[in-house]
């Protein structure tokens, strides 16, 4: 957990919503100088904080509407701190909770050096990252439609499909002919129509994303693709979810952020289990899980390494070790700007 500890003259806690925001400002002595409910607009915010601009820092909890406030503070040269939502125990664990109370707690955490920080993703790459996440959402929805067709086929005890429905060339008109009931046939045809539409949108997104990745950081993008199992799409996910590897001082920090290691809970010399499974980047966890499986398909040496680990701790633990190994490899590859070395990877 990273805490914001810089000292300022004024500390503003903003409880932000889509159409409203509650502002609470404390001075360096802890005295409340502003406590006001405002509309969520740049003009209202700037007008409210105008008397306290000299030495002001603004803190807001990470939620879906923080983009515009962070960009506004950047344009106005006002320090902005994004709060980690899952670490805001002082807010979510309170007996009483309201916008007024939450804004006051945010300001107090800022002033006391206990404000848990999240990464304020820079605006230059933010929209591309969001488009990449949208593309992943479309892929999952397309997979659900394909699974629905396969489940419908099993419901009627029809022979399994001879080819994968993932590929457009295998989704022929003969596929719907095996269903005689008009309603079932229409349901499958609707699924196929939606799958075709998703294919077009996903392809358009991938072309745009690949073009932007080459412009933003072509060298790192190429180095990521040198790792067996990491292709263009997984390379894009890593490139845009990480943004800047220098924000992680050590490999362990990156592995923790990517949800590749367990966080031990212990007390009085006794291990109480692990926690924090939801803290970190879920997109990076997915990317490394996919990369590990794809590496095993294309790299016999990695498959042999996994089989040796399976004998000691089982398949699940061996896969987790391989994912963490990939995460550590990507960290050093990115920081040192060197291509993937399979021999060094397996011996490390």
Report pLDDT digits (tens) over 180-190. 899 999 999 99
**Which two three-digit tokens encode residue 61?**
């909890």
Average pLDDT estimate for 106-132: 93
**Which two three-digit tokens encode residue 249?**
């001082």
Structural contact between residues 69 and 14, judged by C-beta atoms closer than 8 angstroms = yes
Average pLDDT estimate for 10-30: 95
Strand-strand pairing, 20-27 and 32-39: antiparallel
213 pLDDT tier (thresholds 50, 70, 90): confident
Give residue-wise pLDDT tens across range 287-298. Answer: 999 999 999 998
Distances (CA, A) of 79 to 162, 176, 234: 59, 59, 33
Residue with more model confidence, 300 or 1: 300
100 pLDDT tier (thresholds 50, 70, 90): very high
pLDDT of the residue at 154: 92
How crowded is residue 162: how many other Cβ atoms within 10 Å of its Cβ? 6
Give residue-wise pLDDT tens across range 216-274. Answer: 889 999 999 999 999 999 999 999 999 999 999 999 999 999 999 887 777 877 877 77
Average pLDDT estimate for 2-23: 95
176 pLDDT tier (thresholds 50, 70, 90): confident
Percent of the chain past pLDDT 70, that is, above it, reads: 99
* Three-class secondary structure assignment of 99-117: HHHHHHHHHHHHHHCCEEE
Provide DSSP, 166-187. Answer: TSGGG--THHHHT--SHHHHHH
Residue with more model confidence, 60 or 214: 60
Distances (CA, A) of 117 to 59, 187, 207: 9, 47, 34
276 pLDDT tier (thresholds 50, 70, 90): low
Strand-strand pairing, 115-116 and 80-83: unpaired
**Which two three-digit tokens encode residue 325?**
């190994």
64 pLDDT tier (thresholds 50, 70, 90): confident
- Order of all β-strands in the sheet with 80-83: 32-39, 20-27, 10-16, 56-61, 80-83
User: Rounded to an integer, what is the distance from CA 197 to the centroid of its chain?
Assistant: 26
Helix (H, G, I), strand (E, B) or coil at 195: helix
End-to-end alpha carbon distance in the chain? 28
Q: Cβ-count burial of 330 within 10 angstroms (0-12 exposed, 13-18 middle, 19+ buried)?
A: buried
pLDDT of the residue at 4: 93
**What is the rounded CA–CA span in Å between residue 332 and residue 162?**
43
320 pLDDT tier (thresholds 50, 70, 90): very high
Please enumerate in sequence order all residues whose Cβ is within 8 A of that of 213, keeping only pairs 6 or more positions apart, or say none: 128, 221, 235, 236, 239, 240
- Ranges of beta strands (E only) in 102-251 are 115-116
Q: At what angle do helices 123-155 and 182-216 cross, to 10 degrees?
A: 160
Structural contact between residues 14 and 39, judged by C-beta atoms closer than 8 angstroms = no
Whether pTM exceeds 0.75: yes
pLDDT of the residue at 269: 78
- Ranges of beta strands (E only) in the chain are 3-4, 10-16, 20-27, 32-39, 56-61, 80-83, 115-116, 263-267, 270-275
What CATH number is given for 3-116 in this structure? 3.30.420.10
Write down the mean pLDDT value for the chain. 91
Which of 329, 303, 330 is CA-nearest to residue 318?
303
Helix (H, G, I), strand (E, B) or coil at 235: helix
pLDDT of the residue at 13: 96
Structural contact between residues 112 and 104, judged by C-beta atoms closer than 8 angstroms = no
pLDDT of the residue at 63: 87
Give residue-wise pLDDT tens across range 187-211. Answer: 999 999 999 999 999 999 999 988 8
Residue with the two structure tokens 């045809």: 189
């Amino acid at each position: 957990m990273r805490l914001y500890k810089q000292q300022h003259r004024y500390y503003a806690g903003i409880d932000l919503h889509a159409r409203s925001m509650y502002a609470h400002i404390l001075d360096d002595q802890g005295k409340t100088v502003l406590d006001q409910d405002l509309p969520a607009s740049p003009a209202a915010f700037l007008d409210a904080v105008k008397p306290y601009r000299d030495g002001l820092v603004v803190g807001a909890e990470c939620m879906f509407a923080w983009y515009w406030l962070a960009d506004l503070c950047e344009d106005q040269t006002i320090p902005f701190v994004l709060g980690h939502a899952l670490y805001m125990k002082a807010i979510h664990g309170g007996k009483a909770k309201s916008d007024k109370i939450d804004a006051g707690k945010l300001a107090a955490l800022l002033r006391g050096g206990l404000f848990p920080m999240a990464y304020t993703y820079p605006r230059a790459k933010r929209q591309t990252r969001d488009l990449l996440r949208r593309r992943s959402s479309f892929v999952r929805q397309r997979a659900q439609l394909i699974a629905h067709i396969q489940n419908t086929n099993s419901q009627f005890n029809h022979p399994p499909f001879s080819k994968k429905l993932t590929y457009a060339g295998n989704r022929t008109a003969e596929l719907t002919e095996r269903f005689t009931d008009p309603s079932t046939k229409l349901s499958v045809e609707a699924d196929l129509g939606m799958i075709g539409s998703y294919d077009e949108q996903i392809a358009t997104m991938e072309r745009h994303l690949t073009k932007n990745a080459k412009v933003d950081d072509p060298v790192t993008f190429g180095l990521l693709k040198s790792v067996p199992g990491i292709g263009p799409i997984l390379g894009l996910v890593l490139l845009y979810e990480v943004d800047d590897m220098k924000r992680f001082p050590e490999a362990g920090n990156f592995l923790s952020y990517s949800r590749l290691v367990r966080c031990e809970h212990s007390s009085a010399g006794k291990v109480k289990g692990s926690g924090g499974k939801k803290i970190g980047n879920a997109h990076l966890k997915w990317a490394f899980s996919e990369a590990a499986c794809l590496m095993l398909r294309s790299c016999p040496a990695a498959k042999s390494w996994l089989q040796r680990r399976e004998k000691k701790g089982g398949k699940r633990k061996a896969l987790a070790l391989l994912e963490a190994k990939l995460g550590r490899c990507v960290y050093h590859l990115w920081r040192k700007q060197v291509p993937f070395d399979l021999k060094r990877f397996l011996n490390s």
